[in-house]
Amino acid sequence: GEEVAQTPKHLVRGEGQKAKLYCAPIKGHSYVFWYQQVLKNEFKFLISFQNENVFDETGMPKERFSAKCLPNSPCSLEIQATKLEDSAVYFCASSPYQSYEQYFGPGTRLTVT
Amino acid sequence: RKEVEQDPGPFNVPEGATVAFNCTYSNSASQSFFWYRQDCRKEPKLLMSVYSSGNEDGRFTAQLNRASQYISLLIRDSKLSDSATYLCVVREYTGKLIFGQGTTLQVKP
């Protein structure tokens, strides 16, 4: 597609439940980036992929967070055993090259209660 | 210390005013520099790239000073539609973006 698609738009989970977010990059884009935006506009880089390979995972929390980009499937970000502080908007972005403009999806708002 | 620092504002200005935002970054190896705009926690959208030579896009002028690791954005003749959060963004060599905390601009009639 011509836009980055993210599903769902909103996700509500109780503490301890699993959350799974999806991202379909723009067709032909090799790079996918995940960012987390908590309150006060604090964006945090989580992880990036080059096709199905992890490219940079320096921002991923060591526990509970995992991500995949499999061929012919949307990329996914999964949080096991969610905590209150995981409440945020999770944005996915795609890019045709490593150092090119990143196009952002509309985000998934995760609320952990 | 944050990697990218901005004054969060808010900046409240009348229509037609000129307003300037500043930003500093800590990693001298940063590759590229941008200003993004974000409306009401929707997705950030690229406003403009920033170069050492300075660049202008209509009412918007951006400037980069690599020596002092300082980035600026000037908005002339502010419009109501300019009300948004402006994000100073730095790209690392891996491609990941580092965001400042954003500066909120409110343009009043």
* Amino acid, single-letter form, for residue B86: Y
Statement: residue A39 has pLDDT above 80: no
- Residue A10 CB partners (closer than 8 Å, separation 6+): A108, A109, A111
Please compute the mean of the pLDDT values over residues A92-103 and round it to a whole number. Answer: 92
pLDDT value at position B1?
76
Q: Kindly indicate the confidence band of residue A1, based on its pLDDT and cuts at 50, 70 and 90.
A: low
Highest-pLDDT range among A15-19, A35-39, B64-68: A15-19
Statement: residue A40 has pLDDT above 70: no
| Among candidates A33, A89, A104 on the partner chain, residue whose Cβ is nearest the Cβ of B41 | A89
CB of A91 within 8 Å of a chain B CB? The answer is: yes
pLDDT value at position B108?
97
pLDDT tens for chain B, residues 1 to 109? 789 999 888 999 999 999 999 999 998 888 899 999 999 879 999 999 998 888 999 999 999 999 999 999 999 999 999 999 999 999 999 999 999 999 999 999 9
CB A108 within 8 A of CB A20: no
Cis status of the peptide bond prior to A8, with omega within 30 of 0: yes
% of chain A beyond a pLDDT of 70: 98
CB of A53 within 8 Å of a chain B CB? The answer is: no
pLDDT value at position B89?
96
Please compute the mean of the pLDDT values over residues A6-34 and round it to a whole number. Answer: 97
CB of B109 within 8 Å of a chain A CB? The answer is: no
CB A86 within 8 A of CB A21: no
**Smallest CA–CA separation between B44 and chain A, in Å?**
7
pLDDT value at position B79?
98
CA-nearest residue to A33 within chain B is B96
DSSP state of A53: E
What's the CA dihedral at A51, A56, A59, A65 to 10 degrees?
40
| Among candidates B31, B42, B101 on the partner chain, residue whose Cβ is nearest the Cβ of A42 | B101
pLDDT value at position A100?
86
DSSP chain B: --SEEE----EEEETT--EEEEEEES-TT--EEEEEEESTTS--EEEEE--TT-EEETTEEEEEETTTTEEEEEE-S--GGG-EEEEEEEE-TTS-EEE---EEEEEE-
Please compute the mean of the pLDDT values over residues A82-100 and round it to a whole number. Answer: 94
**Smallest CA–CA separation between B43 and chain A, in Å?**
5
Alpha-carbon gap, residue B67 to B38, rounded angstroms? 28
Q: Which residue has the tokens 């985000």?
A: A107
